[in-house]
Amino acid sequence: MKRVYFYLALLLVLSLAIPAYADNTTTGNGAPSGAHYNLNIVGVPQDKTADMTDNNGHRIFVNLDKKSKILLCEGEEFSVLDANGTKGSAKFQLPNPDPDNDGITVYSVMVRALGKPGGSAAVSTCATDESDPTNVVEVCSMWELTLGREKGASKFFNASELLYVYADLDGNGIKRYPLFDSALEDYFWDYDNNGLKLAQFRFYEMPSTVLDPEDIP
């Protein structure tokens, strides 16, 4: 049974529930067919308070014109643990994407920008490097997702590199660290919003082969 409902006429009605692991039979939007978990990241103005009424766990509110953190924690199921990122940070649970760090993910991330044309956002995967207790530093991936809403139909594209931090931690070149790798701590997405009202993330139970570290510019 089809259980995916999209209603994008007004930002205020984005609170409509979208079921997890819905059957996607839509063609032409760039997304694969199959079961998936749906997550909407909704940008709201700074002077607005996110309405958590009837929150169904499939949306996160972030600031419309500034940075928000989406803290990432490991769990067997996808789940929004804290939907209100307008206060600075939200929290999202997701499975370990690549326990063997072989560059082939357990699941894939597809992303597209929606809403009125003109907005954009940059998303970086970051973490804390605590290898030197005297110099704890925040490290962000050298691979960054850029989302922009232009006129016309918006299509999904594969952004599974969001499941990794590509970084040079020891001065010996860029390496790839999947989410929850023990080399780093406190993983999160740094969501730098510049007017994007809606980013739609889909997590599919299908593998993707991500970039090798030497392919990162």
- Please report, in tens digits, the pLDDT of each residue of the chain (217 residues total): 333 333 233 333 333 333 333 343 444 777 888 889 999 999 998 655 655 555 556 999 999 999 999 999 999 999 999 999 998 899 999 999 999 999 999 999 999 998 778 889 999 999 999 988 899 999 999 999 999 977 777 889 999 999 999 999 999 999 999 999 999 999 999 999 999 999 999 999 999 999 999 999 7
Laid out side by side, the sheet with 67-74 consists of 79-82, 89-94, 67-74, 185-194, 120-129, 137-148
> Which pair of tokens denotes residue 167?
């970084």
111-126 per-residue burial string, b: 16 or more CB within 10 A, e: under 16: bbbbbeeebebbbbbb
User: Comparing C-alpha atoms, which of 122, 121, 74, 123 is closest to residue 96?
Assistant: 74
Owning domain of residue 58: 12-26+34-215
| One-letter amino acid of 190 | D
Site of tokens 């600075």: 88
Residue 56 falls inside a structural domain: yes
Site of tokens 């999209």: 6
> Which pair of tokens denotes residue 172?
């010996």
State in Å, rounded, how far the first CA of the chain is from the last one. Answer: 44
User: Comparing C-alpha atoms, which of 56, 199, 211 is closest to residue 121?
Assistant: 199
Residue 7 falls inside a structural domain: no
Residue 1 falls inside a structural domain: no
- pTM: predicted TM-score of the whole model, two decimal places: 0.83
**Virtual CA dihedral for 115, 116, 118, 124, nearest 10 degrees?**
-10
Domain total in the chain:
1
184-205 per-residue burial string, b: 16 or more CB within 10 A, e: under 16: beebbbbbbbeebbbbbbbbbe
SS3 content of the chain, % helix, strand, coil (to 5): 5, 45, 50
Residue 122 falls inside a structural domain: yes
Residue 40 falls inside a structural domain: yes
Residue 3 falls inside a structural domain: no
Residue 5 falls inside a structural domain: no
Residue 185 falls inside a structural domain: yes
Who contacts 169 (Cβ-Cβ below 8 Å, separation ≥6)? 129, 131, 139, 175, 183
